[in-house]
Amino acid sequence: MDIKQTNDDLIRFWGESICLGEEDRQALADVPKDLSTLAPSQELFAAAKSLGDYERVLDYGCGHGWASVVAASSGAKEVEAVDMSPSIIEAASCYAEAFGVGDRIDAHVIDAGWLSRCDEGTYDAVFCSNVLDVVPKQTAGEIIKGLYAALAPKGKAIIGLNFFLSPEAASKRGMNLEDGYLFVNGILRLSNLNDEEWSTIFEPFFVVEKLEHFAWAGEEMKTRRLFWLRKR
Ligand SMILES: C[S@@+](CC[C@H](N)C(=O)[O-])C[C@H]1O[C@@H](n2cnc3c(N)ncnc32)[C@H](O)[C@@H]1O
């Protein structure tokens, strides 16, 4: 399928969605620094916390960097938080500073080719939450290959994914799936693959050690996915 938007549109959308205004920055300075409130769910929090056992961690498509903050606060020595939008990286740097781990988080803007230029085996663990299923499938494939190469032998990859939307559930909610993608206002919001399809994509590169299903706060059904992978 011809994806009807460029990467620039996608990054602009996320840059506008995840950014901090002056008031947000003030609020962040004053907010009680309770790490567990940073993650959208307990399962994601536990996953990010487990990254504290590793020395060099990559948070790919970090958003405001909540997972990097949790990882660094839990013991990870060097965390790299990367994303494609400057406003997102500014937000990630603010969070890192506000939570007192700015010295252990290197937050920086990347371009689409950055991962393929990383030195092989750089990271002991990578975290990639809600990124692979909000990009075109070809991009997701390139990211998976890049994360594989950037990981040290037997390195850990933790991949968070949104829910799978069955055609019936989509039509019940008045949503239109086009060739396995959900667009909202012209923006790709979901690359709609089920658990087996994602496993098949990961398996040439990673052993799937665990697949957890979880819900965000307020959601009834545990339909979101967390893949715990080990580099082959
Ligand atoms: C749904 S947000 C998730 C943010 C964060 N990982 C989290 O769990 O809260 C998707 C993120 O992926 C980033 N992103 C989109 N395409 C990307 C790409 N090709 N490479 C790296 N990051 C990308 C967006 O800028 C955005 O920050």
pLDDT (tens digit per residue) in 121-167: 999 999 999 999 999 999 999 999 999 999 999 999 999 999 999 98
pLDDT of 1 reads: 57
Report the mean per-residue pLDDT for the chain: 95
How far is 42 from 177, CA to CA, in rounded Å?
30
The domain that contains 128 carries what CATH number? Answer: 3.40.50.150
How far is 60 from 143, CA to CA, in rounded Å?
9
Residue 175, in any domain of the structure? no
- Structural domain harbouring 12: 7-19+37-163+194-231
pLDDT at 210 over 80: yes
Residue 31, in any domain of the structure? no
pLDDT band at 230 (very low <50, low <70, confident <90, very high): very high
CB of 155 within 6 A of ligand 1: the answer is no
Ligand 1, from 45, 84, 105: best to mutate by most atoms within 8 Å of Cβ?
84
Residue 130, in any domain of the structure? yes
pLDDT at 217 over 90: no
**Residue 142: closest CA among 120, 114, 108:** 114
pLDDT one-digit tens code per residue, 42-55: 999 999 999 999 99
- Count of structural domains, the chain: 1
How far is 74 from 28, CA to CA, in rounded Å?
20
Residue 127, in any domain of the structure? yes
pLDDT of 30 reads: 86
CA 108 – ligand 1 centroid, Å: 13
Ligand 1, from 14, 133, 145: best to mutate by most atoms within 8 Å of Cβ?
14
Higher pLDDT, 8 or 134: 134
pLDDT of 29 reads: 85
Residue 158, in any domain of the structure? yes
Residue type, 184: V
pLDDT band at 6 (very low <50, low <70, confident <90, very high): confident
Q: Residues 33-45: what's their mean pLDDT?
A: 92
pLDDT of 4 reads: 59
Residue 171, in any domain of the structure? no
CB of 65 within 6 A of ligand 1: the answer is no
How far is 78 from 59, CA to CA, in rounded Å?
11
pLDDT of 216 reads: 94
Contact predicate 18/87, CB 8 Å: yes
Kindly state the tokens that stand for 66: 């909540």
How far is 95 from 107, CA to CA, in rounded Å?
10
pLDDT one-digit tens code per residue, 66-95: 999 999 999 999 999 999 999 999 999 999
Residue 72, in any domain of the structure? yes
Residue 29, in any domain of the structure? no
Q: Residues 213-225: what's their mean pLDDT?
A: 94
